[in-house]
Structures are given as C-alpha cells and as structure tokens.
C-alpha cells in the first residue's frame, strides 16, 4: 500500500485523484479510498471493499459536476422540476454512473491493474429497493432523462430503512425476507443533517387573531418528528448536468416541548422519540388493501412536508423570491396520489405559516402542481377514512373541507340542479363510511392531469375522472410512459450496444428514434448473424444465472418466453400458466408430437398479504416441478420461476427474451414499462390491446406484434351482460382437460386443495376474464410457434421491433412533461 501511495503522490498532481478520468487517475483514486476511506490493510481487502472504493471514487467525480449544477439552479433563473414520489426504484448505481460519465473502460482498466475484475466488483452492489415495481422504476427513469436533457430538477422521496422485501422460493412458495440494503453502507448518499425540517402529526387546531387583527388558524401537533435529508447525485449521460435525489429519513426531534415532558413523564417521552423513527422504517406493498394505513399516511405526509419546506426554503431564503412567483420557478409533479396531501399542505404552509390570502394561495397551489394518474382499478384508488384523517392531520382536513366548499360551489354554478354530480365529485366520499378521496384532491389541486398511455388517458376521461374532465377538459392530457435506454439498453445489453454503435453510430443513446436507421439492416445477412449472436450470448448469460439461482439448466437455442412483473390477477400470470399446461397436455396425449422447444421464465413478487397472488406463484412452480422432471415433456418445455425479480437481475432478463408476455385484461394495465424494455431489446410481444401495448403495436407495425384477446369495449360488454366462465369451458375440450389436470393434483402430488383457490377464481368469479381470452391466447401462441420456426423471419421482426422502439424512451416522455406541463427548459452548466 505504501508503495502505491508513494507513487501516487509522485505521479498524480494534487486534486487529480478526485477528478481525473483516466485509468491511471482512477487507479490512484481507488487506492486512495482503500487507504483513507475503507481503512483496511491490503491483506484483508475484499471485492466488496473494492466496490466501495470505486463507488467513492466515482462519487468524487460526480461531485465535481453536482455542485456546479446545484449552484447554477439555486438562483432560480431557470424553472426547476420537483418530482414527488413515494417510490424511487433506482437500481444499482455504479455501472450507470460509469456509463453516464463515460469512464467504464478506464474503470475496468484501473481495477484490472489492481488485480480486480469490474464485473465482479459491480456484482457486489446491493440495489436500493425503494419501490414496488413499475411506478417506482418510472420515477428513476425520469430522473435519468431529466439530467440527460439538462433540466434542473430534484426528486423527492422516502429513505426507507427496509425497501421491498427479498423474495425466496421454498418448495414453490414465496418467502419474504427483510431487505437490509443499508447493511454494507451506501456510498452514494450524502447525509445532510443540517437540511432538516419538522413534520407534525395529530393534535388539534386553534383559532386566533393576529396583531394585525386577522383571523388565523394554527395547528398544534400532538407530536413532531424531524426529517433529515440524504442526497444522491443523478448524473446525466454525456452532459455536465448532475441533479439531486433527496430522500427523507425520520428522526426524533431534540428538546421539543412534548406534552409528556411537560407532565414529567420522561420515559414516555423517550419512547415517543424512538417511535419517531418508525415513520421511514419500511416500504409498504402497493397492491395490498387496508394494511398499515395510519403509518402509510404518516409516511406520505412526512415526505411531502419536508419536500415542500425545502422548496420554500430555497425559493425564499436562497433565491430571495416572493411567494407569488412560486409557480413560475417550480413545477411540482405528483407521482400518483401518494404525495397528493401536498395540495393541502402547501395551502397550510402558505395560509397559516406565510399568511398568504386564501385565494392567492389557491392560485399558487393549482399552478404549481401537476398530477399523474397511474391506475383505474377502483381498489387501488387511495381514500382515507375520515376519522383516521381527522385524528392524524386535523388542520389538513379543515383545509380540505374549505377547498371542497369553494370547489363544489364552482360545480353547482357550472352544473346547476345536478346534486348527483356534486356528490360524485366531492373530495369527501361516502363509499363505505366517509373518506377523503385523494385522487379528487390531486385533480382539483393541479393544473394538469395526465394518464400514462393513450388508452389509459382516454379511459380516465371516460371513467374515474369523467366528471372532472367535463368540468375542465383543458386540464387533461396524455403522456405515454418511457424507459431510459441508457440503463435498459446500453448498460444491460452491451453486446447490442456495440452492434448498434458500429452500425449506426452512438447517437441513439440520446435520440432513440435514431434506431430507425437500423431498419434496412433487417435484410442484411451479416447484421442478422451478429444480431442473433448477441441474443444468443444474452440467453447464455441468463441461463448461467438461472442455473446458479435455481439449479435448472436451460438451452440457449430454445425460445425464451418471459413474463416478469409483480404478480397480480389483472396481469394474468395464470393465463400464461394455462398455456404451459395446454402444451403439457398435448405432449402427454399425442406421443411423437414435436413442438418448438420453449422455456417459460417468470419473475415477480406477490404482496405479502395478497393470498391469490401467492397461490399463482405456487401454480407456476408446481407446473415447473412437474414439467422440468418429466422426460416426456422436458425435451420441449422448461418452466423457471426466477426468485427476487429486481432491477439488478432485470438487467439480465430483458436482453435475453425472445417473447415478451404482456397479457393483462384490456383496460387494466395503465401503461406498463416492462413491455417497452423488452421491445428495445428485440423481443416480440404477445399482448392484449391494453396500456402502452396499443402504441407498441402501432410503432412496430401490426404484422410485428402478436395480438390476442378481448378489447376494452368487449370486456365492458361481457361484464355488463354477465361473464359466465362455464360457457368457455364447455365449448373448449382442451381448456376442460387443462383445468382438469390442475384440479386432479397432477402438479401437486395428488393434492387437490392447494391450487383450488386459483381454479375457483378462474371458474366462478374472475373479474379479469382469463378464460374468456384463453382460446384466443392459445391460437396466438400456436401462431407464434410457427413463426419461431422461420428463424430469419423472426429475427427480422425482432430487429424491426427494436428499430421502432424510439417512442418509448423516457427522454421523449420527459420532453413532453417539460413542454406540456412543467414549462421547464434546459440549463447549461459550466464546469
């Protein structure tokens, strides 16, 4: 070690070990951090230590861009976007930062010089699982695009101590393990203890008259916690801009005049301080109704108030701007209703704390916020029981009543003699006891409301927000989701990146529409050969991972048919399972039958309290255990349930797919983003006309997309006239046989009870109409097998899919948000 540092002080001019981008400079920086930050002698250094050292060296380099970026926007000469999201599913940071800084190769060389392999070092990173799935990952993709498009922005969220649980599969069942992502430390975050705000909770309100004679209200919280900020750098690709993600963590507040202190109950006070920190303890699953309600509301309010106070501090104290300019300097986006309490909180801060007149405060609020809706599923629309809300946030409830009074007065004026409409639109619902409707609060408090795919935005206007659309048609729009091609193409599919770069240059990384230049190569035999070699290598890479995690061996020449996403009845993993059983049945009953061999790969977590989703996992693993070990069928079929699907292993999954399963019931999936990641990587989609599938098919061309199933209109009609699954079973002998196989215990060692709940739901009360789409799905899958047999044709289709995936870059989506909602332009940064 002394040797290394001696050489370093001789060779590297002062400061370069923090900024230099060459392999030599990085090597010196890693050695520096091993000595001064990791503090371990050379004899005991682990790969994990090298990971941390390289991460710290990279963070130093980010900081040289981060501080100038922050300094440049702090005067607010440019408008800033704030993306409020209860989830940011960022994924591993090191590889992405190396890519965006353009120093992947220098880092590889530096580590090699130190006897380390970059890939092994990258594998050490524990990803921050601070999100459930698509919604949290979307927020992360948007931060990447905001930085790359040089838009000044801050992401605000929650630093959960425990993120989404780790999933293990034991005997085919999901087991949850707590996610301890901070156990080895987090080199990317910078703790800012001086950046802290108070967040109240419960208590009561008081009215008073201030010295100027104005009537005022103050909230006297029952207790208060402190929110402290942890900042993470978000480096744009190929630009100096480096934005900020601020995540709030709850702490006990020191020496606050707690009631317990006043009454002398010291130990009760200490106890309360300990419980303060539970607010940001754990991320809740998004698809589990009625769990942890109170704490969830506490989390939402906590991160929202810290974020708004931070915005106001910068606006008033740092930039010295007047409050009325807030909407000119800041665009605050609500990622679903999770942060929608922000509407009431900004009103409280403006009216109660800054003594702004109500009407002006409301004008500021509405012009500041935009709201993105992510779901039409009624069970997923957030409402809070009135009593819980009143106990937790009494002042906010008063404010919501006041907003409601003003708002409903407007409704009555616009639509006289329509009391039904007034009660439908009220912020206070009567559905099963009085409640606060958060989607209504977000809608009323925002100047723009958008859905996340063309179809979804239309359905929003026609269903859950129809009344609001009729009131304010100009407020509604669509911005189809996107994903970042840096992470989901360049970083996770280096083989394809190189092929693209050599063929059309690297402009596609920042303008994904440029992939269209690949279209002519779909006919080029040389390109086709290299395209197939890349896909084959990606399939081998995934096969190796599958083998080490599950013990199952896969043949990379087989078709990889993949469905990875949260397990949910509306996403219909069980429909996919019915296809596998159909093929099993054919192979068993028709000896000598030859079919194109396929491996079915599933991945995804089920919410811990979602009974049916967990049974669907068991259905898949049970079929897998039978199929994989039956020599009659395992020459043609393999079934894998990949445990613990997350961003890190997603990097291996999407690039290896031949077929992407996007089979939700039409009208249920708002957009989907997994569908886009598959398309970019050249998978063909089998899908319904749902969410962004519609646009994927439009872009790819109908002839390059495998369509099946009922349309939204047909689904609605079937549900209106009465869906009778028995009709479909009686009409279809193959379906009858398939259900019989599951029912008689073929996949469960004769046990006829384990999978009964799944069967019963399919056969008796399935709101997602799986059996209604069965015949169409199987027919489509048979067509897919025939096309797969024509390998040149398949490759051509898959190249055209990748070449036409430009629309689904998050850069396109963020440009639309900036132009249509935020009015935020680019900001140059001088280093």
Ligand X SMILES: *Cc1c(COP(=O)(O)O)cnc(C)c1O
Evaluate whether 593 touches 693 at the Cβ level (below 8 Å): no
Q: How far is the CB of 190 from ligand X (least distance, A)?
A: 25
Asked if 696 interacts with ligand X (CB under 6 A), we say no
* One of 133, 200, 203, 339 touching ligand X (CB under 6 A): 133
Tell me whether strands 223-235 and 189-201 are parallel, antiparallel or unpaired: antiparallel
Query: Per CB under 6 A, which region of 132-140, 229-237, 470-478, 634-642 contacts ligand X?
Result: 132-140
Report the alpha-carbon distance of residue 502 to residue 645 in Å, rounded: 32
Of the candidate residues 20, 134, 155, 643, the single one contacting ligand X (CB under 6 A) = 134
| DSSP track, 225-250 | EEEEEEEEEEEPTTSS-EEEEEEEEE
Sort residue 618 into left (φ over 0), alpha (ψ -120 to 50) or beta.
alpha
The catalytic position among 137, 374, 475, 535 is 374
Instruction: Using the rule CB under 6 A, give the single segment among 130-138, 155-163, 404-412, 422-430 that binds ligand X.
Output: 130-138
For residue 466, indicate whether it is catalytic: no
CB nearer ligand X, residue 429 or residue 672 = 672
Closer residue to ligand X in complex, CB, 140/250: 140
Confirm or reject binding of residue 674 to ligand X (CB under 6 A): yes
Our finding on whether 90 is near ligand X (CB under 6 A) is no
Smallest gap from Cβ 650 to ligand X, in A, equals 4
Q: Which of 487, 571, 579, 618 is catalytic?
A: 571
User: Reduced to 3 states, what is the DSSP secondary structure of residue 598?
Assistant: strand
Residue 675's closest CA among 700, 701, 696?
Answer: 696
Dihedral (CA of 186, 190, 192, 198) sign = negative
Contact, 695 vs 454, CB < 8 A? Answer: yes
Q: Which of 29, 103, 393, 650 binds ligand X (CB under 6 A)?
A: 650
| Tokens found for residue 614 | 């967990």
Verify binding: residue 167, ligand X, rule CB under 6 A.
no
Is residue 33 annotated as part of the catalytic site, yes or no? Answer: no
Quote the CA–CA distance of 763 and 769 in Å, as a whole number: 10
Q: Minimum Å distance from CB 40 to ligand X?
A: 33
Clarify whether 588 is annotated catalytic: no
User: Nearest approach, Cβ of 110 to ligand X (angstroms)?
Assistant: 29
Give the SS3 label for residue 388: helix
Given a contact cutoff of 8 angstroms between Cβ atoms, the answer to whether 203 and 394 are in contact is yes
Strands (E), 210-368: 215-220, 223-235, 242-252, 330-335
Q: Tell me, yes or no, if 589 is annotated catalytic.
A: no
Is residue 605 involved in binding ligand X (CB under 6 A)?
no
- Give me the least distance between CB of 677 and ligand X, in Å please: 6
157 binds ligand X (CB under 6 A): no
**Which of residues 69 and 673 has its CB atom nearest to ligand X in the complex?**
673
Apex 108 CA angle, 62 and 18, nearest 5 = 30
For residues 27 and 614, which CB has a smaller minimum distance to ligand X in the complex?
614
Interacting span for ligand X (CB under 6 A) from 8-16, 58-66, 129-137, 618-626: 129-137
Q: Which of 487, 677, 804, 812 is catalytic?
A: 677
Residue 189 CA to residue 356 CA, distance in Å, equals 36
Point out the catalytic residue in the list 565, 605, 614, 697.
565
Q: How far is the CB of 84 from ligand X (least distance, A)?
A: 20
Nearer to ligand X, 342 or 562 (CB): 562
* DSSP-based three-state secondary structure for 75: coil
> Under a CB-based contact definition with an 8 Å cutoff, are residues 638 and 662 in contact?
no
CB atoms within 10 A of CB 378: 9
Q: How far is the CB of 138 from ligand X (least distance, A)?
A: 8
By CB under 6 A, name the one of 565, 572, 579, 804 that touches ligand X: 565
Nearer to ligand X, 492 or 795 (CB): 492
Span of 180-188, 203-211, 545-553, 666-674 interacting with ligand X by CB under 6 A: 666-674
* Piece of 248-256, 300-308, 670-678, 717-725 that binds ligand X (CB under 6 A): 670-678
Among positive and negative, which fits the CA dihedral 268, 271, 273, 275?
A: negative
* DSSP category for residue 607: P
Per-residue interface string for the shown chain with ligand X, residues 522-561, x marking contact by CB under 6 A: ----------------------------------------
- Compute CA distances 607 → 85, 614, 643, whole Å: 20, 8, 14
- Can residue 681 be called a binding residue for ligand X (CB under 6 A)? no
668 assigned to active site: no
By CB under 6 A, residue 646 contacts ligand X: yes
Least distance in angstroms from the C-beta of 508 to ligand X:
20
Distances, alpha carbon 272 to alpha carbons 160, 198, 260, 267, 390, in Å: 19, 15, 9, 9, 21
Number of H helices, E strands in the chain: 35, 22
In angstroms, what is the minimal distance from the CB of 642 to ligand X?
11
Residue placing its CB nearer to ligand X in the complex, 642 or 829: 642
Answer for the pair 476, 690: CB distance below 8 angstroms, yes or no.
no
Can you tell me the distance from the alpha carbon of 716 to that of 234, in angstroms, rounded to the nearest whole number? 43
Q: How far is the CB of 183 from ligand X (least distance, A)?
A: 21
Part of the chain binding ligand X (CB under 6 A), chosen from 76-84, 102-110, 672-680, 741-749:
672-680
Which residue has the CB atom at the shortest distance from ligand X?
674
- Active-site option among 79, 396, 566, 568: 566
Q: Are 554 and 546 in contact (CB under 8 A)?
A: yes
Nearest CB to ligand X, comparing residues 645 and 706: 645
In what helix (H) or strand (E) does residue 586 lie, and over which residues does it extend?
helix 573-589
Counting other chains too, the contacts that 407-410 makes at CB distance below 8 Å and 24 or more residues apart are 407/444, 410/471
Comparing CB distances to ligand X, the nearer of 128 and 674 is: 674
Catalytic residue among 484, 673, 685, 748: 673
Enumerate the β-bridge partners of residue 695: none
Question: Counting contacts by CB under 6 A, is residue 647 touching ligand X?
Answer: yes
673 binds ligand X (CB under 6 A): yes
* Token representation of residue 468: 């609001």
Give me the count of residues in the chain. 831
Q: Closer to ligand X by CB, 163 or 227: give it.
A: 163
Q: How far is the CB of 88 from ligand X (least distance, A)?
A: 12
In the complex, least distance from residue 281 CB atom to ligand X, rounded to whole angstroms? 22
- 448 versus 565: smaller Cβ distance to ligand X: 565
- Cα–Cα distance for residue pair 607/610, rounded to 1 Å: 5
Q: How many residues bind ligand X (CB under 6 A)?
A: 12
The CA distance from 806 to 803, in Å, is 7
What is the nearest approach in angstroms of ligand X to the Cβ of residue 452? 10
Which token pair is 734? 């193959």
Buried b (16+ CB within 10 A) or exposed e, 190-215: beeeebbbebbbbbebeeeeeeeeee
Strands 80-84, 330-335: parallel, antiparallel or unpaired by DSSP?
Answer: parallel
Q: What residues form DSSP beta bridges with 231?
A: 190, 246
Asked whether position 672 contacts ligand X by CB under 6 A, the answer is yes
Identify which range of 43-51, 70-78, 322-330, 643-651 contacts ligand X by CB under 6 A: 643-651
Distance CA 519, CA 120 (A): 36
Which active-site residues does the annotation give?
374, 565-566, 571, 673, 677
**Residue ranges that bind ligand X, judged by CB under 6 A:** 133-134, 137, 565, 645-647, 650, 672-674, 677
């Amino acid at each position: 070690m002394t040797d290394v540092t001696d050489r370093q002080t001789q060779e590297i001019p002062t400061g370069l070990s923090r900024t230099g981008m060459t392999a030599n400079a990085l090597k010196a920086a890693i050695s520096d951090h091993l000595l001064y930050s990791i503090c371990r002698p050379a004899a005991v250094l682990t790969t994990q230590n090298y990971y941390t050292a390289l991460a710290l060296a990279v963070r130093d380099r980010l900081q040289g861009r981060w501080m100038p970026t922050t300094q440049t926007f702090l005067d607010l000469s440019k408008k800033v976007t704030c993306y409020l999201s209860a989830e940011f599913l960022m994924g591993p940071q090191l590889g992405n930062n190396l890519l965006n800084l353009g120093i992947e190769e220098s880092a590889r060389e530096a580590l090699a010089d130190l006897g380390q392999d970059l890939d092994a070092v990258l594998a050490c990173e524990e990803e921050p699982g601070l999100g459930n799935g698509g919604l949290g990952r979307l927020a992360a993709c948007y931060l990447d695009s905001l930085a790359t498009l040089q838009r000044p922005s801050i992401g605000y969220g929650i630093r959960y101590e425990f993120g989404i649980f780790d999933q293990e599969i034991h005997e085919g069942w999901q087991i949850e393990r707590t996610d301890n992502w901070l156990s080895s430390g987090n080199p990317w975050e910078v703790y800012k203890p001086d950046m802290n705000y108070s967040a109240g909770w419960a208590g009561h309100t008081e009215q008073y008259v201030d010295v100027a004679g104005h009537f005022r209200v103050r909230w006297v919280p029952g207790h208060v916690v402190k929110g402290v900020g942890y900042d993470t750098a978000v480096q744009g690709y190929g630009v100096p801009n480096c934005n900020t993600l601020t995540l709030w963590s709850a702490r006990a507040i020191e020496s606050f005049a707690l009631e317990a202190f006043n009454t002398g109950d010291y130990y009760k006070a200490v106890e309360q301080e300990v419980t303060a920190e539970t607010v940001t303890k754990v991320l809740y699953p998004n698809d589990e109704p009625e769990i942890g309600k109170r704490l969830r509301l506490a989390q939402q309010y906590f991160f929202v108030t810290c974020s708004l106070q931070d915005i106001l501090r910068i606006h008033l104290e740092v930039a010295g701007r007047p409050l009325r300019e807030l909407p000119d300097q800041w665009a605050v986006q609500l990622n679903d209703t999770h942060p929608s309490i922000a509407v009431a909180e900004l009103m409280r801060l403006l009216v109660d704390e800054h003594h702004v007149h109500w009407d002006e405060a409301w004008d500021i609020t509405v012009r500041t916020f935009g709201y993105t809706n992510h779901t039409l599923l009624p069970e997923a629309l957030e409402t809070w029981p009135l009593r819980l809300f009143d106990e937790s946030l009494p002042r906010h409830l008063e404010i919501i009543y006041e907003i409601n009074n003003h708002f409903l007065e407007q409704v009555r004026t616009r639509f006289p003699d329509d009391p039904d409409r007034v009660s439908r639109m009220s912020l206070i619902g009567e559905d099963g006891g009085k409640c606060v409707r958060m989607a209504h609060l977000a809608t009323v408090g925002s100047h723009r409301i958008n859905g996340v795919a063309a179809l979804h935005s239309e359905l929003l206007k026609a269903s859950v927000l129809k009344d609001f659309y009729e009131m304010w048609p100009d407020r509604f729009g669509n911005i189809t989701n996107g994903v970042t091609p840096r992470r989901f193409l360049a970083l996770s599919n280096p083989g394809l990146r190189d092929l693209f770069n050599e063929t059309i240059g690297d402009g596609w990384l920042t303008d994904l529409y440029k992939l269209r230049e690949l279209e002519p190569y779909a006919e080029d035999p040389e390109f086709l050969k290299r395209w197939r070699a890349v896909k084959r290598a990606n399939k081998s890479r995934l096969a190796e991972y599958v083998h080490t995690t599950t013990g199952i061996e896969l043949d990379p020449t087989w078709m990889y048919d993949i469905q990875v996403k949260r397990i949910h009845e509306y996403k219909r993993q069980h429909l996919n399972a019915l296809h596998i059983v159909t093929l099993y049945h054919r192979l068993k009953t028709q000896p000598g039958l030859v079919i194109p061999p396929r491996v079915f790969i599933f991945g995804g977590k089920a919410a811990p309290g979602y009974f049916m989703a967990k049974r669907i996992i068991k259905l898949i693993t049970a079929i897998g255990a039978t199929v994989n070990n039956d020599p009659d069928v395992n020459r043609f079929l393999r079934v894998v349930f990949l445990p613990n699907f997350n961003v890190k292993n997603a990097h291996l999954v999407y690039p290896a797919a031949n077929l992407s399963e996007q089979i939700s019931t039409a009208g249920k999936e708002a957009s989907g983003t997994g569908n886009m990641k598959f398309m970019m990587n050249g998978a063909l989609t089998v899908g319904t006309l749902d969410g962004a599938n519609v646009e994927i098919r439009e872009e790819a061309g109908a002839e390059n997309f495998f369509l099946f199933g009922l349309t939204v209109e047909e689904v609605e009609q079937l549900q209106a006239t009465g869906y009778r699954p028995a009709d479909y079973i009686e009409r279809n002998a193959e379906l009858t046989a398939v259900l019989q196989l599951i029912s008689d215990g073929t996949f469960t060692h004769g046990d006829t009870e384990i999978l009964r709940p799944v069967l019963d739901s399919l056969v008796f009360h399935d709101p997602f109409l799986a059996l209604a789409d069965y015949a169409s799905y199987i027919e489509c899958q048979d067509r897919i097998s025939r096309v797969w047999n024509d390998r040149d044709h398949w490759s051509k289709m898959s190249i055209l899919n990748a070449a036409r995936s430009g629309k689904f870059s998050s850069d396109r989506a963020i440009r639309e948000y900036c132009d249509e909602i935020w009015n935020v332009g680019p900001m140059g940064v001088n280093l």
